[in-house]
Amino acid sequence: MGSRALGRTSWVALVGAAALKFFVLACLAGFPLALSHDVGGPLALVAFVPLFWLARHGERVFWLGALAGFTEVFIAMWGCSSYGYIIPLILALQGAVVRGLACWLLRHRGVLAGISMVVVGQWIRTLPPLSIPISVGHDLVAWPSLAQPAALGGGALLVWICALSSYAVVDRFVRPRLLLLLVLIYSVSGLYAAWVPPRGEATAVRISAIQGGLPNWVYAQSWIDPKARQLIRRRYLAVAEAEAERGAELVILPESAVREDWPGQNPMAQTYREIHDRGVGLIAGINSRRDGEWRNSALAWPAKQAEPITVEKRIIVPIVERAFRAGDSEPQLLPFKKLALALCIESIYPGIFASMPKARWGLVITNDAGVGSATPRRAFERETRLRALEQGLPILRVAQDGRSYLVAANGAIVDELPEHLPGVLRLTSLPARRWTLYGQLGNWLAWLSLVILVLRLRRRPSGHGPTPASA
Protein backbone atom coordinates (compact mmCIF):
# COMPACT_ATOMS: atom_id res chain seq x y z
CA MET A 1 0.00 0.00 0.00
CA GLY A 2 2.82 2.34 0.93
CA SER A 3 4.68 1.65 -2.31
CA ARG A 4 1.54 2.47 -4.34
CA ALA A 5 1.11 5.80 -2.53
CA LEU A 6 4.79 6.56 -3.06
CA GLY A 7 4.48 5.70 -6.75
CA ARG A 8 1.41 7.91 -7.10
CA THR A 9 3.21 10.78 -5.37
CA SER A 10 6.20 10.40 -7.70
CA TRP A 11 3.92 10.38 -10.72
CA VAL A 12 2.16 13.57 -9.56
CA ALA A 13 5.55 15.20 -8.91
CA LEU A 14 6.75 14.32 -12.40
CA VAL A 15 3.59 15.66 -14.01
CA GLY A 16 3.83 18.82 -11.91
CA ALA A 17 7.47 19.33 -12.83
CA ALA A 18 6.68 18.83 -16.54
CA ALA A 19 3.78 21.30 -16.35
CA LEU A 20 5.94 23.86 -14.56
CA LYS A 21 8.71 23.46 -17.14
CA PHE A 22 6.16 23.89 -19.94
CA PHE A 23 4.76 27.03 -18.35
CA VAL A 24 8.16 28.58 -17.65
CA LEU A 25 9.49 27.92 -21.16
CA ALA A 26 6.38 29.40 -22.78
CA CYS A 27 6.48 32.52 -20.62
CA LEU A 28 10.19 32.97 -21.26
CA ALA A 29 9.55 32.73 -25.01
CA GLY A 30 6.97 35.53 -24.77
CA PHE A 31 9.16 37.86 -22.74
CA PRO A 32 11.61 38.96 -25.53
CA LEU A 33 8.61 39.78 -27.72
CA ALA A 34 7.06 41.90 -24.98
CA LEU A 35 10.39 43.62 -24.34
CA SER A 36 10.79 44.38 -28.04
CA HIS A 37 7.51 46.29 -28.05
CA ASP A 38 9.01 48.56 -25.43
CA VAL A 39 12.61 49.09 -26.57
CA GLY A 40 12.32 48.20 -30.27
CA GLY A 41 15.21 48.36 -32.70
CA PRO A 42 17.59 45.39 -33.25
CA LEU A 43 15.95 43.33 -30.49
CA ALA A 44 12.98 42.87 -32.83
CA LEU A 45 15.25 40.99 -35.25
CA VAL A 46 15.83 38.16 -32.75
CA ALA A 47 12.79 38.39 -30.46
CA PHE A 48 11.13 35.37 -32.12
CA VAL A 49 14.14 33.09 -31.54
CA PRO A 50 12.93 31.38 -28.31
CA LEU A 51 9.41 30.90 -29.66
CA PHE A 52 10.59 29.47 -32.99
CA TRP A 53 13.02 27.16 -31.20
CA LEU A 54 10.19 25.78 -29.07
CA ALA A 55 8.02 25.39 -32.17
CA ARG A 56 10.71 23.19 -33.72
CA HIS A 57 11.73 21.16 -30.69
CA GLY A 58 8.97 21.34 -28.08
CA GLU A 59 5.80 19.35 -27.48
CA ARG A 60 2.20 20.62 -27.71
CA VAL A 61 3.48 23.50 -29.79
CA PHE A 62 0.10 25.19 -30.21
CA TRP A 63 -0.26 25.59 -26.46
CA LEU A 64 3.36 26.66 -26.11
CA GLY A 65 2.80 29.38 -28.70
CA ALA A 66 -0.55 30.37 -27.21
CA LEU A 67 0.86 30.81 -23.71
CA ALA A 68 3.87 32.71 -25.08
CA GLY A 69 1.59 34.98 -27.13
CA PHE A 70 -0.67 35.65 -24.17
CA THR A 71 2.34 36.47 -21.98
CA GLU A 72 3.80 38.73 -24.68
CA VAL A 73 0.74 40.93 -25.17
CA PHE A 74 -0.48 40.99 -21.59
CA ILE A 75 2.92 42.14 -20.32
CA ALA A 76 3.13 44.74 -23.10
CA MET A 77 -0.33 46.12 -22.28
CA TRP A 78 0.19 46.04 -18.51
CA GLY A 79 -0.24 49.37 -16.74
CA CYS A 80 -2.13 50.99 -19.62
CA SER A 81 -3.45 53.82 -17.45
CA SER A 82 -6.96 53.32 -16.07
CA TYR A 83 -8.26 51.02 -18.80
CA GLY A 84 -8.42 48.08 -16.40
CA TYR A 85 -7.89 44.45 -17.40
CA ILE A 86 -10.47 44.00 -20.16
CA ILE A 87 -8.51 45.52 -23.06
CA PRO A 88 -5.20 43.78 -22.16
CA LEU A 89 -7.09 40.50 -21.73
CA ILE A 90 -8.85 40.75 -25.12
CA LEU A 91 -5.62 41.63 -26.91
CA ALA A 92 -3.67 38.93 -25.06
CA LEU A 93 -6.21 36.31 -26.15
CA GLN A 94 -5.84 37.50 -29.75
CA GLY A 95 -2.07 37.23 -29.39
CA ALA A 96 -2.40 33.73 -27.95
CA VAL A 97 -4.44 32.44 -30.90
CA VAL A 98 -2.12 33.99 -33.49
CA ARG A 99 1.12 32.79 -31.90
CA GLY A 100 -0.30 29.34 -31.18
CA LEU A 101 -1.40 28.85 -34.80
CA ALA A 102 1.93 30.16 -36.05
CA CYS A 103 3.85 27.62 -33.98
CA TRP A 104 1.60 24.74 -35.01
CA LEU A 105 1.88 25.66 -38.69
CA LEU A 106 5.64 26.10 -38.50
CA ARG A 107 5.93 22.62 -37.00
CA HIS A 108 3.48 20.78 -39.26
CA ARG A 109 3.30 22.82 -42.49
CA GLY A 110 6.78 24.29 -42.77
CA VAL A 111 8.54 27.60 -42.23
CA LEU A 112 6.66 29.60 -44.85
CA ALA A 113 3.32 28.63 -43.35
CA GLY A 114 4.38 29.56 -39.83
CA ILE A 115 5.85 32.92 -40.78
CA SER A 116 2.90 33.71 -43.07
CA MET A 117 0.60 33.11 -40.10
CA VAL A 118 2.63 35.56 -38.03
CA VAL A 119 2.22 38.18 -40.77
CA VAL A 120 -1.47 37.49 -41.44
CA GLY A 121 -2.20 37.50 -37.71
CA GLN A 122 -0.54 40.87 -37.39
CA TRP A 123 -2.50 42.18 -40.38
CA ILE A 124 -5.79 41.08 -38.81
CA ARG A 125 -4.81 42.91 -35.65
CA THR A 126 -4.48 46.18 -37.59
CA LEU A 127 -8.18 46.07 -38.48
CA PRO A 128 -10.39 48.21 -36.23
CA PRO A 129 -12.00 48.58 -33.85
CA LEU A 130 -10.90 46.13 -31.11
CA SER A 131 -7.30 45.53 -32.13
CA ILE A 132 -4.24 47.56 -31.27
CA PRO A 133 -1.37 46.54 -33.57
CA ILE A 134 1.49 45.83 -31.20
CA SER A 135 3.99 44.12 -33.49
CA VAL A 136 7.64 43.14 -33.46
CA GLY A 137 7.83 44.28 -37.08
CA HIS A 138 6.67 47.77 -36.20
CA ASP A 139 9.24 47.87 -33.42
CA LEU A 140 11.95 48.19 -36.06
CA VAL A 141 10.78 51.78 -36.52
CA ALA A 142 12.63 52.64 -33.29
CA TRP A 143 15.69 52.54 -35.57
CA PRO A 144 14.61 54.27 -38.84
CA SER A 145 17.46 52.63 -40.79
CA LEU A 146 15.99 49.19 -40.03
CA ALA A 147 12.47 50.21 -41.03
CA GLN A 148 13.14 51.60 -44.52
CA PRO A 149 11.69 48.54 -46.33
CA ALA A 150 8.25 49.65 -45.07
CA ALA A 151 8.11 51.94 -48.12
CA LEU A 152 8.01 48.78 -50.23
CA GLY A 153 5.77 46.44 -48.24
CA GLY A 154 4.60 48.30 -45.16
CA GLY A 155 4.45 46.73 -41.72
CA ALA A 156 3.99 43.28 -43.27
CA LEU A 157 7.49 43.40 -44.77
CA LEU A 158 8.94 44.45 -41.42
CA VAL A 159 7.26 41.45 -39.76
CA TRP A 160 8.69 39.17 -42.47
CA ILE A 161 12.16 40.61 -41.82
CA CYS A 162 11.91 39.97 -38.07
CA ALA A 163 10.56 36.45 -38.50
CA LEU A 164 13.13 35.50 -41.16
CA SER A 165 16.07 36.81 -39.16
CA SER A 166 14.92 34.96 -36.03
CA TYR A 167 14.40 31.71 -37.90
CA ALA A 168 17.85 32.04 -39.46
CA VAL A 169 19.28 31.89 -35.93
CA VAL A 170 17.21 28.80 -35.06
CA ASP A 171 17.81 26.69 -38.18
CA ARG A 172 21.40 26.44 -39.36
CA PHE A 173 20.36 24.64 -42.57
CA VAL A 174 18.36 27.55 -43.95
CA ARG A 175 20.57 30.28 -42.48
CA PRO A 176 22.54 31.14 -45.66
CA ARG A 177 19.40 31.44 -47.76
CA LEU A 178 17.49 33.53 -45.24
CA LEU A 179 20.43 35.84 -44.58
CA LEU A 180 20.89 36.29 -48.31
CA LEU A 181 17.19 37.14 -48.62
CA LEU A 182 17.49 39.74 -45.87
CA VAL A 183 20.53 41.29 -47.55
CA LEU A 184 18.55 41.39 -50.81
CA ILE A 185 15.57 43.10 -49.14
CA TYR A 186 17.71 45.81 -47.58
CA SER A 187 19.72 46.27 -50.79
CA VAL A 188 16.57 46.79 -52.83
CA SER A 189 15.23 49.12 -50.16
CA GLY A 190 18.45 51.16 -50.20
CA LEU A 191 18.44 51.46 -53.99
CA TYR A 192 14.77 52.37 -53.88
CA ALA A 193 15.35 55.16 -51.35
CA ALA A 194 18.28 56.52 -53.39
CA TRP A 195 16.45 56.32 -56.70
CA VAL A 196 12.97 57.62 -55.88
CA PRO A 197 12.97 61.44 -55.89
CA PRO A 198 10.76 63.61 -53.63
CA ARG A 199 7.31 64.46 -54.96
CA GLY A 200 7.29 68.24 -55.22
CA GLU A 201 8.90 70.77 -52.93
CA ALA A 202 8.85 71.43 -49.21
CA THR A 203 5.73 73.22 -47.96
CA ALA A 204 6.32 76.64 -46.40
CA VAL A 205 4.04 77.22 -43.41
CA ARG A 206 4.46 78.80 -39.96
CA ILE A 207 3.11 76.30 -37.45
CA SER A 208 3.07 76.45 -33.66
CA ALA A 209 2.26 73.05 -32.14
CA ILE A 210 1.68 73.17 -28.37
CA GLN A 211 2.56 70.41 -25.91
CA GLY A 212 1.28 71.02 -22.39
CA GLY A 213 3.26 68.26 -20.67
CA LEU A 214 0.40 67.47 -18.27
CA PRO A 215 -0.35 63.94 -17.02
CA ASN A 216 -3.95 62.73 -17.02
CA TRP A 217 -4.35 63.02 -13.25
CA VAL A 218 -4.26 66.81 -13.63
CA TYR A 219 -7.35 66.60 -15.83
CA ALA A 220 -9.11 64.36 -13.33
CA GLN A 221 -8.21 66.81 -10.56
CA SER A 222 -9.50 69.77 -12.60
CA TRP A 223 -13.12 68.69 -12.11
CA ILE A 224 -12.89 69.68 -8.43
CA ASP A 225 -9.76 71.83 -8.25
CA PRO A 226 -9.81 75.36 -9.77
CA LYS A 227 -5.98 75.51 -9.62
CA ALA A 228 -5.68 72.44 -11.86
CA ARG A 229 -8.20 73.98 -14.26
CA GLN A 230 -6.18 77.20 -14.39
CA LEU A 231 -2.95 75.25 -14.99
CA ILE A 232 -4.48 73.57 -18.05
CA ARG A 233 -5.65 76.92 -19.41
CA ARG A 234 -2.22 78.50 -18.86
CA ARG A 235 -0.40 75.63 -20.57
CA TYR A 236 -2.66 75.74 -23.65
CA LEU A 237 -4.99 78.73 -24.03
CA ALA A 238 -2.51 81.37 -22.88
CA VAL A 239 0.28 79.84 -24.95
CA ALA A 240 -2.00 79.57 -28.01
CA GLU A 241 -2.84 83.28 -27.78
CA ALA A 242 0.85 84.17 -27.41
CA GLU A 243 1.76 82.10 -30.49
CA ALA A 244 -0.95 83.84 -32.51
CA GLU A 245 0.58 87.17 -31.51
CA ARG A 246 4.03 85.92 -32.55
CA GLY A 247 2.85 85.50 -36.14
CA ALA A 248 1.96 81.82 -36.45
CA GLU A 249 -0.18 80.91 -39.45
CA LEU A 250 -1.53 77.79 -37.77
CA VAL A 251 -1.81 76.98 -34.05
CA ILE A 252 -2.27 73.30 -33.14
CA LEU A 253 -3.39 71.84 -29.80
CA PRO A 254 -3.49 68.07 -29.15
CA GLU A 255 -6.50 65.83 -28.55
CA SER A 256 -8.79 67.15 -25.79
CA ALA A 257 -6.07 69.47 -24.48
CA VAL A 258 -8.67 71.76 -22.87
CA ARG A 259 -11.74 69.71 -22.00
CA GLU A 260 -14.49 72.29 -22.18
CA ASP A 261 -17.52 72.16 -24.45
CA TRP A 262 -17.65 73.40 -28.00
CA PRO A 263 -19.63 75.41 -28.88
CA GLY A 264 -20.08 76.98 -25.48
CA GLN A 265 -19.60 80.00 -23.26
CA ASN A 266 -16.30 79.12 -21.64
CA PRO A 267 -12.64 80.25 -21.77
CA MET A 268 -11.71 77.56 -24.32
CA ALA A 269 -14.36 78.55 -26.86
CA GLN A 270 -13.69 82.25 -26.30
CA THR A 271 -9.93 81.84 -26.84
CA TYR A 272 -10.43 79.82 -30.03
CA ARG A 273 -12.70 82.53 -31.45
CA GLU A 274 -10.20 85.24 -30.55
CA ILE A 275 -7.37 83.37 -32.25
CA HIS A 276 -9.45 83.00 -35.40
CA ASP A 277 -10.40 86.70 -35.29
CA ARG A 278 -6.66 87.51 -35.44
CA GLY A 279 -6.51 85.83 -38.84
CA VAL A 280 -4.74 82.71 -37.55
CA GLY A 281 -5.72 79.14 -38.44
CA LEU A 282 -6.48 76.73 -35.61
CA ILE A 283 -6.65 72.96 -35.11
CA ALA A 284 -7.58 71.64 -31.67
CA GLY A 285 -9.01 68.49 -30.18
CA ILE A 286 -12.48 69.07 -28.72
CA ASN A 287 -15.47 67.16 -27.36
CA SER A 288 -18.47 68.05 -29.50
CA ARG A 289 -22.08 67.05 -28.99
CA ARG A 290 -24.32 66.01 -31.90
CA ASP A 291 -27.68 64.26 -31.88
CA GLY A 292 -27.51 64.05 -28.12
CA GLU A 293 -24.22 62.11 -28.13
CA TRP A 294 -20.63 63.06 -27.41
CA ARG A 295 -18.10 62.80 -30.25
CA ASN A 296 -14.34 62.93 -29.85
CA SER A 297 -13.53 65.50 -32.52
CA ALA A 298 -11.13 68.07 -33.88
CA LEU A 299 -11.92 71.71 -34.52
CA ALA A 300 -10.28 72.73 -37.81
CA TRP A 301 -10.72 76.46 -38.41
CA PRO A 302 -8.98 77.97 -41.46
CA ALA A 303 -8.14 81.64 -41.07
CA LYS A 304 -10.23 82.72 -44.06
CA GLN A 305 -13.27 80.61 -43.25
CA ALA A 306 -16.16 82.03 -41.21
CA GLU A 307 -17.13 78.76 -39.52
CA PRO A 308 -14.92 75.89 -38.31
CA ILE A 309 -14.87 72.38 -39.74
CA THR A 310 -15.59 69.63 -37.22
CA VAL A 311 -13.71 66.40 -37.93
CA GLU A 312 -15.09 63.52 -35.86
CA LYS A 313 -13.02 60.57 -34.76
CA ARG A 314 -14.13 57.66 -36.92
CA ILE A 315 -12.58 54.73 -35.04
CA ILE A 316 -13.66 54.25 -31.43
CA VAL A 317 -12.28 51.46 -29.24
CA PRO A 318 -15.20 49.99 -27.25
CA ILE A 319 -14.96 49.90 -23.44
CA VAL A 320 -12.13 52.45 -23.41
CA GLU A 321 -14.10 55.14 -25.26
CA ARG A 322 -17.58 54.12 -24.18
CA ALA A 323 -18.59 57.75 -23.48
CA PHE A 324 -18.19 58.67 -27.15
CA ARG A 325 -19.79 57.71 -30.43
CA ALA A 326 -17.75 57.18 -33.60
CA GLY A 327 -18.10 59.78 -36.34
CA ASP A 328 -19.74 58.85 -39.62
CA SER A 329 -18.10 61.35 -41.98
CA GLU A 330 -15.78 60.34 -44.81
CA PRO A 331 -12.05 61.18 -44.57
CA GLN A 332 -11.41 64.59 -46.09
CA LEU A 333 -8.46 66.78 -46.92
CA LEU A 334 -8.49 69.95 -44.86
CA PRO A 335 -7.70 73.35 -46.43
CA PHE A 336 -4.39 73.76 -44.59
CA LYS A 337 -2.24 73.11 -47.68
CA LYS A 338 -3.90 69.70 -48.26
CA LEU A 339 -3.80 68.27 -44.75
CA ALA A 340 -4.76 64.69 -43.80
CA LEU A 341 -5.80 64.63 -40.13
CA ALA A 342 -5.95 61.60 -37.81
CA LEU A 343 -7.25 61.72 -34.25
CA CYS A 344 -5.34 59.69 -31.68
CA ILE A 345 -5.85 55.95 -32.18
CA GLU A 346 -6.86 56.43 -35.84
CA SER A 347 -3.18 56.89 -36.64
CA ILE A 348 -2.34 53.27 -35.82
CA TYR A 349 -4.58 51.96 -38.61
CA PRO A 350 -2.94 52.12 -42.08
CA GLY A 351 -6.20 52.88 -43.91
CA ILE A 352 -6.68 56.38 -42.50
CA PHE A 353 -3.84 58.14 -44.36
CA ALA A 354 -4.09 55.72 -47.29
CA SER A 355 -7.64 56.99 -47.90
CA MET A 356 -6.27 60.51 -48.60
CA PRO A 357 -3.55 59.95 -51.22
CA LYS A 358 -3.51 63.60 -52.38
CA ALA A 359 -2.44 64.95 -49.00
CA ARG A 360 0.79 66.97 -48.85
CA TRP A 361 1.25 66.39 -45.13
CA GLY A 362 -0.38 64.60 -42.23
CA LEU A 363 -1.24 65.58 -38.68
CA VAL A 364 -1.85 63.35 -35.65
CA ILE A 365 -3.30 64.98 -32.55
CA THR A 366 -3.30 62.57 -29.65
CA ASN A 367 -3.28 62.06 -25.89
CA ASP A 368 -0.42 59.79 -24.94
CA ALA A 369 -1.05 60.75 -21.32
CA GLY A 370 -4.05 58.42 -21.53
CA VAL A 371 -1.76 55.36 -21.49
CA GLY A 372 0.62 56.70 -18.87
CA SER A 373 4.16 55.32 -19.21
CA ALA A 374 3.08 51.86 -20.38
CA THR A 375 4.56 50.08 -23.41
CA PRO A 376 1.67 51.11 -25.76
CA ARG A 377 3.00 54.65 -25.48
CA ARG A 378 6.06 53.63 -27.51
CA ALA A 379 4.01 51.45 -29.83
CA PHE A 380 1.53 54.24 -30.64
CA GLU A 381 4.15 56.83 -31.50
CA ARG A 382 6.08 54.39 -33.69
CA GLU A 383 2.90 53.86 -35.68
CA THR A 384 3.04 57.51 -36.73
CA ARG A 385 6.53 57.05 -38.13
CA LEU A 386 5.45 53.83 -39.86
CA ARG A 387 2.57 55.69 -41.54
CA ALA A 388 5.08 58.27 -42.80
CA LEU A 389 7.30 55.54 -44.26
CA GLU A 390 4.41 53.62 -45.82
CA GLN A 391 2.79 56.59 -47.51
CA GLY A 392 5.89 58.72 -48.10
CA LEU A 393 4.07 61.43 -46.16
CA PRO A 394 5.60 63.97 -43.75
CA ILE A 395 3.55 63.84 -40.54
CA LEU A 396 3.39 66.18 -37.57
CA ARG A 397 2.48 64.48 -34.30
CA VAL A 398 1.20 66.64 -31.44
CA ALA A 399 0.63 64.92 -28.08
CA GLN A 400 -0.45 66.22 -24.68
CA ASP A 401 2.73 65.22 -22.90
CA GLY A 402 4.83 63.88 -25.80
CA ARG A 403 6.27 62.62 -28.00
CA SER A 404 5.49 65.57 -30.25
CA TYR A 405 7.56 65.73 -33.43
CA LEU A 406 7.74 66.24 -37.17
CA VAL A 407 8.70 63.09 -39.06
CA ALA A 408 9.85 63.19 -42.70
CA ALA A 409 8.70 60.86 -45.46
CA ASN A 410 11.68 58.57 -44.80
CA GLY A 411 10.77 58.09 -41.13
CA ALA A 412 13.48 60.40 -39.76
CA ILE A 413 12.47 62.83 -37.02
CA VAL A 414 13.15 66.39 -38.20
CA ASP A 415 12.27 68.26 -35.00
CA GLU A 416 10.73 67.30 -31.65
CA LEU A 417 9.89 68.43 -28.13
CA PRO A 418 11.20 66.78 -24.94
CA GLU A 419 8.76 64.25 -23.56
CA HIS A 420 6.64 65.12 -20.47
CA LEU A 421 7.61 68.81 -20.61
CA PRO A 422 5.66 71.85 -21.82
CA GLY A 423 6.85 73.43 -25.04
CA VAL A 424 6.02 74.77 -28.48
CA LEU A 425 7.23 73.12 -31.68
CA ARG A 426 7.64 75.99 -34.15
CA LEU A 427 7.98 74.99 -37.79
CA THR A 428 8.53 77.11 -40.88
CA SER A 429 8.34 74.35 -43.50
CA LEU A 430 7.26 70.74 -43.98
CA PRO A 431 9.35 68.17 -45.91
CA ALA A 432 8.26 67.01 -49.36
CA ARG A 433 6.26 63.86 -50.02
CA ARG A 434 7.82 60.74 -51.52
CA TRP A 435 6.37 58.10 -53.83
CA THR A 436 6.18 54.64 -52.25
CA LEU A 437 5.28 51.23 -53.59
CA TYR A 438 3.16 50.56 -50.52
CA GLY A 439 1.27 53.81 -51.09
CA GLN A 440 0.35 52.63 -54.59
CA LEU A 441 -0.43 48.96 -53.89
CA GLY A 442 -1.56 49.00 -50.25
CA ASN A 443 -1.22 45.81 -48.20
CA TRP A 444 -0.08 43.71 -51.15
CA LEU A 445 2.39 41.70 -49.06
CA ALA A 446 -0.22 40.89 -46.41
CA TRP A 447 -2.51 39.53 -49.14
CA LEU A 448 0.38 37.55 -50.60
CA SER A 449 1.10 36.12 -47.13
CA LEU A 450 -2.52 35.01 -46.90
CA VAL A 451 -2.24 33.25 -50.28
CA ILE A 452 0.98 31.52 -49.16
CA LEU A 453 -0.72 30.44 -45.95
CA VAL A 454 -3.70 28.94 -47.79
CA LEU A 455 -1.45 27.10 -50.24
CA ARG A 456 0.71 25.67 -47.46
CA LEU A 457 -2.37 24.54 -45.56
CA ARG A 458 -3.33 22.44 -48.59
CA ARG A 459 -0.03 20.54 -48.34
CA ARG A 460 0.20 17.24 -46.53
CA PRO A 461 1.57 17.48 -42.99
CA SER A 462 5.35 17.52 -42.95
CA GLY A 463 5.63 15.12 -39.99
CA HIS A 464 7.26 15.80 -36.68
CA GLY A 465 9.08 18.88 -37.79
CA PRO A 466 10.18 20.93 -40.81
CA THR A 467 13.03 19.71 -42.92
CA PRO A 468 15.69 21.93 -44.43
CA ALA A 469 13.87 21.76 -47.77
CA SER A 470 10.62 23.03 -46.25
CA ALA A 471 11.92 26.59 -46.11
Both 301 and 332 in one domain: the answer is: yes
Nearest-angstrom CA–CA distance, 60 and 408: 46
Both 160 and 290 in one domain: the answer is: no
Which residues, given as ranges, of the chain have pLDDT below 70?
1-9, 11-18, 79-84, 129-133, 319-320, 369, 459-471
Partners of 283 in beta bridges? 252, 300
Residue 321 in domain: yes
Both 282 and 327 in one domain: the answer is: yes
Pick the closest to residue 92 from 53, 132, 52 (CA basis): 132
Residue 366 in domain: yes
Residue 468 confidence (pLDDT): 42
CATH code, domain with 415: 3.60.110.10
- Give the three-class secondary structure for 284: strand
Partners of 253 in beta bridges? 284
Tell me which residue range forms the domain holding 149. 9-196+442-470
Both 226 and 91 in one domain: the answer is: no
Q: How many domains does the chain have?
A: 2
Residue 45 in domain: yes
Both 402 and 266 in one domain: the answer is: yes
Residue 79 confidence (pLDDT): 64
Residue 450 in domain: yes
Residue 4 in domain: no
Residue 233 confidence (pLDDT): 93
Residue 1 in domain: no
Both 205 and 192 in one domain: the answer is: no
Both 367 and 352 in one domain: the answer is: yes
Both 231 and 168 in one domain: the answer is: no
Residue 256 confidence (pLDDT): 84
- Pair 368, 453: CB distance under 8 Å: no
Residue 464 confidence (pLDDT): 46
Both 164 and 302 in one domain: the answer is: no
Residue 32 in domain: yes
Residue 22 confidence (pLDDT): 75
Instruction: Provide the phi-psi class of 84: left if phi over 0, else alpha when psi is between -120 and 50, else beta.
Output: left
Both 137 and 222 in one domain: the answer is: no
Both 448 and 426 in one domain: the answer is: no
DSSP string, 139-203: HGGGSHHHHTTHHHHHHHHHHHHHHHHHHHHH-TTTHHHHHHHHHHHHHHHHHHHHHSPEES-PE
Q: What is the pLDDT of residues 207-237, one digit of tens each?
A: 999 999 988 888 888 888 899 999 999 999 9
Both 171 and 205 in one domain: the answer is: no
Nearest-angstrom CA–CA distance, 395 and 411: 9
Nearest-angstrom CA–CA distance, 118 and 109: 14
Pick the closest to residue 430 from 344, 359, 379, 365 (CA basis): 359
Q: What is the pLDDT of residues 233-251, one digit of tens each?
A: 999 999 999 999 999 999 9
